[in-house]
A and B are shown apart, each in its own frame.
Chain A
Amino acid sequence: MTMDMSRYLGLFISEATEHLEALGRDLVELEREATASTVDSMFRHAHSVKGMASSMGFEPIAMLAHRVEDLVDAVRGDRKLLDRDLVDLLLSAADTLTAQVRAVASSREPEQAEPLLQQLSARVRALTGHAPAVTRVAHVTVLKPAEASSEAGSATGDGTAGGVGASDAAGTSGGAAGASGDTASGSGGTASASGSGGTPAGSSASGSAASGSTGSGGTAGASASGSGSGGAAGTSGSGPSAGASGTADASGLVASGAPGSAAGTSGSGTSGSASGTPGPDSGAGRDGPGASGAAGSTALAVLPPASLMPPRELSSPDALYGAPTGQSLVRVPAEVDPGSPVAALAAGLKAVTNVGVDGRAAAPRWSVRLRISPTCQVPGVRAFLVHKRLSTLGTLVDLRPPLEELKAGRIPDGFIQVDLETAVGEAGIQTALRNVAEVEVVSVSQAVPEPPIIAVPPPTSDSARATADASSRTVRVRTELLDYFLDTVGELMLATARLREVGKELPENTRPALEEGVYRLHTLVKDLHDKVMSARMTPLSLITDRLPRAARDLARRKEREVELVITGAEIELDRAILDELADPLLHLLRNCIDHGLEAPEERLAAKKSVRGRVLVTVRRARDRVIIDIEDDGRGMDPVRLKASALKRGLITEEAAARMADRDAFLLSCLPGVSTAKELTDISGRGVGMDAVKRVVESVGGTLEIDSERGRGTVFTLRLPLTVAVVHLLLVQVGEEVFGLPIAKVVGATEADPETLSRSRETALLPHGNGLLPVHPLEVLLGVPASPRPGFRPFVVMEGDAGTGKVALAVDRLLGQEEVVLKPLSRPLDLLPGLSGVTILGNGRPVFILDVPRLLTA
């Protein structure tokens, strides 16, 4: 629904002007005597102007007033901070605000006062230590003539619009509809899109909501997978400036079990019918009994998160959400005919039909699981309200997240779990929460569950799993969906970077506004990125769970006894990194058992227990996850490793002599080193060790090896928690750009290749006290390039144990950049010498080079 804000324009101008005049008076007053009440009054004036301007959609005014409010608030505690400079600044802000209001009065857009905003924020930051908050502004267009139709703002008009939105959504995807809502509203849209689509835990979208589009609550038999395609999408599509998705979700969700409520909100009966036809492709969504907004008989339907996915995904049946994610959400009011599939379904989960009985049950401990609507702007406050409501019912036994976390709004995915002892029963709990907006009761269950009373088909394994899910607070998300989220966020980042680039082309005076916008966009996208990243965190147990079985099989084959101890597997890592690690971990384990551990008789001779031990220890150290794979076997021999590498011409005699043991152990990661036949005790160490090292490094981690003869070997993997951010030096050769990891760059210099001395074909660059071999990058990479005669830039890089330092000749040094490393997907991972790829701000993919590998492979 869109309000016609233009009719408040006159009032805005007169009242804002009054407040600003009063603010000016207060400021002058302040210079004579800074009383608490004067400062309070200033705060109120600024606050009022902010509130009005944001309602009117006058962003520049709202932002400036907001900063003034922040600054005044910052000096409230200590009025001595109000020095002359600060008063001057506030006065000029008041003047500017007045000018902006005047601009509005003469139908002009108020100008953004960027320098002033910056000065104010600098002061706020200096006083409070943190940056001022973002100003939220309603997106309305007041100054342009309003379009009669879309401004009607009546419930009926809204319902129609909602219907259109819903069918749109069905045709394309929920995501698209949400996005349009976002453009229009600027706040509710995004949140809702991800809320309805992207809450695979299955936040349920209800039949209807304020705007009146009805989701078809499909409940397909006992599997409970349903599809409500209308819901949120319909609302958010309701008009250019409506984007009212938040409401749709909130009221819809909690409408569960409140008969007659589904269509009620809209106040317009026309919208009660199921307008949201499931997308043509969403095969699973058949209209169930609860569909077509049967006025709340089943207010909840499951909105498949698939609707967020691109159309292509929808067409494959398995792209839709499977049952396990869905059912825990389906709640059915007691009035439902127990014979109906819906009731059967509910009973499969936990019959709600026995509410009345349970209400006075002897064991009155209840477990309540709730979800704060993703569109809620202040989840902390919302959660606090819920907490307050529930605490009045009895004794709160457990609260997760804890209260302080709740109040601070740190509520993962909005899920709250409350255990309380109360005599009011489920009905009482539902009643207490029924009147709280933006909260969905996911489940209410007695802490000691009772078998379902009515005879129904036995719970399928799926539904059992759903119940388990509800209690363990986990959410199942398909990896593909997570990838899709990450990709999309990546696209957003890219788009933002592009916008910033475009902004540089704009004339000076229009730039600040865009830059401010881009900055905000950047912050939001970054935040979203963080959230997506945290959603991708997966416990290592996902891959370590396979190790005991593998260890057993390996040990049997080698006729050895092995004890495998895994600790810390609950620690989480980004899913993408985890996927990459599965093979390397298995490989290291195999190495330990096959080659690290001695045969039983050998162990006995060495006074070791017959049974070998392999420890896999996972721990967190700040932003890294460290995995140690340790055996108590025979250890590695640095001397033999060096000899082998020397023999294969991988290192020089001199380098071997200087090499520390730790570096010598890493020689086992050079291809071929330990496959040499004579090195029986470490044979096989090298098989795939180069691959292990490469994978670990490609996800931004490092591999270290420590070993002691006779005592054992430790492989240490240090891994980033999330997909790595790396610093690159960008260089150009020919038309191509490549990235060199700054961590491995020693320095850069310029020289004329013609003047360099040569050893056979290789040019030598003087560096420090020695000479470094020069490798023209175009030759190394096979890139066409015709370097101009004369001086060329050289980048000096660390090599590895085998290569030592080298100098790369390039055409241009383009500068440094911080980028998100993407692992190489098939078939690129088969190419030696590439450690990853990234996409630059201009959209160009750029490869990151692994120079030692380039030189040796």
Chain B
Amino acid sequence: MRHVIFRVEKERYGLPLSAVREVVVPPERYTRVPRAPSAITGVMNLRGRVVTVVELRQLLHLPEGPTPLCRVVLLDRGRRDLGLLVTDVDGIEAVERVSAAPGKVMPAVRGVARLGGLGVTVLDPEGLDAAVVALFTPSK
């Protein structure tokens, strides 16, 4: 299956092509979302749509650190108003065998695969969605 491959710093991630609507350059400034969890960078106006941008790093509980963040990966279908802030987008690649990811099970992660000799973490669109919703649910 074809996947959009992108990076958060040096780590590579993939999302099924069918789950990605487009990739855009972030706006100069976001509208801050009041009382939102810190993973929410803000909302942006994408051709009349209000898109919520989530920092993928925080969503995946990656260690904090300054990253030159320069792309927003917009999800498709029922998640059209959601964008993931990533470092860069590498391209579209066919990802075949996905095996279980080592370590803690996260709903947003479907598994890992090998691509050109390097590892790539394959994300799960539904899981990402759930992870975002979980950020907003106070009972955590």
Residues of A within 8 A of B (CB): 310, 312, 315-316, 487-488, 490-491, 493-494, 735-738, 780-783, 822, 825-828, 830-834, 837, 839, 843-847, 849
B92-110 residues at the A interface, CB under 8 angstroms: none
Report the Cα distance A825→B35, complex, angstroms. Answer: 16
Question: Is B31's CB under 8 angstroms from A736's CB?
Answer: yes
- Residue B114 at the A interface, CB < 8 A? no
Query: Does B22 touch A at the CB level, under 8 Å?
Result: yes
For A827, the chain B residues whose CB sits under 8 A away are 40, 52, 82, 132-133, 135-136
Which of B45, B48, B129 is in CB contact (< 8 Å) with A826? B129
B133 touches A487 (CB 8 A): no
Contact with A833, one of B21, B34, B48, B129 (Cβ below 8 angstroms): B34
Alpha-carbon gap, A830 to B37, bound state (A): 11
With a CB–CB cut-off of 8 A, which chain A residues contact B22?
Answer: 310, 312
Given contacts A736-B31, A826-B129, A831-B35, 12 further A-B contacts (CB under 8 A): A312-B22, A490-B47, A494-B47, A781-B34, A826-B79, A827-B52, A828-B43, A831-B136, A844-B31, A844-B45, A845-B45, A845-B50
A638 → chain B closest CB, angstroms = 31
Find chain A residues with CB under 8 A from B18 CB: 316
Partner pick for B52 among A781, A828, A844, CB 8 A cutoff: A828
Q: Roughly how many angstroms separate A616 CA and B23 CA in the complex, as a whole number?
A: 45
Inter-chain contacts of B76 with A (CB < 8 A): 312
A782 and B50 form a contact (CB under 8 A): no
The 5 sampled A-B contact pairs (Cβ below 8 Å) are A494-B47, A736-B34, A827-B132, A830-B133, A833-B35
Decide if A736 touches B36 in the complex (CB within 8 Å): no
User: Is B44 an interface position by the 8 A CB rule?
Assistant: yes
| B70 contacts chain A at the CB level, 8 A cutoff | no
Which residue of the partner chain, among A491, A735, A736, A782, contacts B35 with CB atoms under 8 Å? A782
Within 8 A of A (CB), among B21-40: 21-22, 31-36, 40
The answer to whether B45 touches A839, judged by C-beta atoms less than 8 angstroms apart, is yes
Contacts between chains A and B (CB distance < 8 A), count: 85
Chain A residue numbers with a CB within 8 Å of B133 are: 826-827, 830
* Nearest CB in chain A to that of B18: its residue: A316
Contacts of A782 in B (CB 8 A): 34-35
Closest A residue to B79 using CB positions:
A826
Q: Chain A residues with Cβ under 8 A from B124's Cβ?
A: none
Contact A831 B129 (CB under 8 A): no
B49 touches A487 (CB 8 A): yes
**Size of chain B's interface in residues, with CB distance under 8 A?**
30
Any A CB within 8 A of the CB of B126: no
- Contact across chains for A781 and B35 when beta carbons are under 8 A apart: yes
Task: Give B136 Cβ to nearest chain A Cβ, in Å.
Answer: 4
Tell me, rounded to whole Å, the shortest Cβ–Cβ distance linking A827 to chain B. 5
Residue of B34, B49, B137 with most chain A CB atoms under a 10 A cut-off: B34
Residues of B within 8 A of A825 (CB): 50, 52, 80-81
Whether B48 pairs with A828 at a CB distance below 8 angstroms is: no
CA distance A490 to B47 in the complex (A): 8
CB <8 Å contact, A839 and B34? no
**Residue on B nearest A824 in the bound complex, by CB:** B50
Flag if A826 contacts B34 (CB, 8 Å): no
Residue of A nearest to B17 (CB): A315
Is A826 a contact partner of B82 (Cβ separation < 8 A)?
yes
The answer to whether B34 touches A834 (Cβ under 8 A) is yes
Residue contact A487 to B31, C-beta cutoff 8 Å: no
A775 to chain B, nearest CB (A): 13
A844 to B31, CA, bound (A): 7
**Residue from B21, B32, B40, B132 having most chain A Cβ neighbours under 10 A:** B32
A736 contacts which chain B residues (CB < 8 A)? 31-32, 34
A491 touches B47 (CB 8 A): yes
What is the bound-complex CA distance between A828 and B32, given in angstroms? Answer: 12
Looking at the assembled complex, report how far the CB atom of A339 sits from the nearest CB atom of chain B, in whole angstroms: 39
Taken together as a complex, chains A and B put the C-alpha atoms of A837 and B49 apart, in Å, by 10
| C-alpha spacing A822/B81, complex, angstroms | 12
CA distance A826 to B22 in the complex (A): 18
With both beta carbons as reference points, the residue of chain B lying nearest to A493 in the complex is identified as B48
Complex Cα distance, B22 from A783, in Å, reads: 30
> B81 contacts which chain A residues (CB < 8 A)?
825-826
Which chain A positions have C-beta within 8 A of B31? 736-737, 844-847
In the A-B complex, list the 7 residue pairs whose CB atoms are closest, starting with the nearest. Answer: A490-B48, A781-B34, A830-B136, A825-B81, A491-B48, A845-B31, A491-B47
Other-chain contact of A845, B17, B40, B44 (Cβ < 8 Å): B44
- CA A828 to CA B37, docked complex, whole Å: 11
Closest to B131 in A: A827
Contact B33 A828 (CB under 8 A): yes
Closest Cβ–Cβ distance, residue A532 to chain B (whole Å): 12
Tell me which residues across on chain A come within 8 A of B80, comparing CB atoms.
825
Closest residue of chain B to A489 (Cβ to Cβ) is B48
Chain B nearest CB, measured from A501 CB (Å): 15
Complex contact B36–A831 (CB within 8 A): yes
Q: How far is the CA of A738 from the CA of B50 in the complex (A)?
A: 15
Q: CA separation between A738 and B34, bound complex, in Å?
A: 10
Which of B33, B45, B82, B129 makes the CB contact (< 8 A) with A847?
B33
Residue ID in chain A nearest B76 by CB atoms: A312
Which residues of B are found within 8 Å of A833, using beta-carbon distances? Answer: 34-35
Q: A494-B48, A827-B133 are in contact. Are A312 and B21 (CB under 8 A)?
A: yes
CB-defined contacts of B34 to chain A, threshold 8 Å? 736, 738, 780-783, 831, 833-834, 847, 849
Count chain B CB atoms within 10 A of each CB in A780, A822, A844 and give the residue with the most. A844
- Please determine whether A831 and B33 come into contact, CB atoms closer than 8 angstroms: yes
A100 CA to B132 CA, complexed, in Å:
62
**Bound Cα distance A595, B133 (Å):** 30
Q: What residues of chain B lie closer than 8 Å to A737, measured between beta carbons?
A: 31
Check if A843 sits within 8 Å of B50, measured CB to CB.
Answer: no
Task: State how many angstroms separate the Cβ of B35 from the closest Cβ of chain A.
Answer: 5
8 A Cβ contacts from B117-139 to A: 129, 132-133, 135-137
For residue A847, which residues in chain B have a CB less than 8 angstroms away from its CB? 31, 33-34
Give the complex CA separation of A735 and B52 in angstroms.
18
Query: Which of B22, B35, B48, B135 is most buried by chain A, counting CB atoms within 10 A of its CB?
Result: B48
Chain A residues, CB < 8 A from B136: 827, 830-831
Chain B 59-73 per-residue mask, 1 if CB under 8 angstroms from chain A, else 0 = 000000000000000
- Give the Cβ gap from A341 to chain B, nearest Cβ, in Å: 31
Q: Please give, as numbers and ranges, the residues of chain B lying within 8 Å of A845 by CB-CB distance.
A: 31, 43-45, 50
In the bound complex, what is the Cα–Cα distance between A832 and B138 (angstroms)?
Answer: 11
B21 partner residues in chain A, CB cutoff 8 A: 312
Within the complex, the shortest CB–CB distance from B53 to chain A, in Å, comes to 11
Query: Taking A825-B81, A837-B50, A845-B50 as contacts, is the C-beta distance between A830 and B137 under 8 angstroms?
Result: yes
Quick one: given A783-B32, A825-B81, are A839 and B129 in contact (CB under 8 Å)?
no
Nearest A residue to B77 by beta-carbon distance?
Answer: A480
The CA-CA distance from A781 to B31 in the complex, in Å, is 13
Which residues of B have CB within 8 Å of A735?
A: 32
Q: Which residues of chain A are within 8 angstroms of B45 by Cβ–Cβ distance?
A: 494, 839, 843-845
Within the complex, which residue of A488, A493, A781, A822 is in contact with B50, where a contact is CB–CB below 8 Å? A822
Kindly report which residue of chain B lies nearest to residue A838, judged by CB atoms: B50
Distance between B74 CB and nearest chain A CB, rounded to angstroms: 9
- Complex CA gap A844/B45 in Å reads 7
Residues of B within 8 Å of A487, CB to CB, are 47-49
**Using Cβ atoms and an 8 Å threshold, which residues of chain A touch B17?**
315
Residues of A within 8 A of B44 (CB): 845
Residues of B within 8 A of A830 (CB): 133, 136-137
Q: How far is the CB of B94 from chain A (nearest CB, A)?
A: 15
Interface membership of chain B positions 2-25, coded 1 if the CB is closer than 8 angstroms to chain A and 0 otherwise: 000000000000000110011000
The residue on A at minimum CB distance from B133 is A827
Please give me the residue from chain A that is nearest to B32 by CB atom. A736
Q: How far is the CA of A316 from the CA of B76 in the complex (A)?
A: 11
**Which of A827, A828, A847, A849 has the most chain B CB atoms inside 10 A of its CB?**
A827
Residue of A487, A737, A833 with most chain B CB atoms under a 10 A cut-off: A487
How far is the CB of B31 from the nearest CB of chain A, in Å?
A: 4
- Residues of chain B lying within 8 A (CB to CB) of residue A310: 22
CA distance A849 to B35 in the complex (A): 12
**Bound state CA distance, A780 and B35, in angstroms?**
9
Shortest beta-carbon distance from A831 to chain B in Å: 6
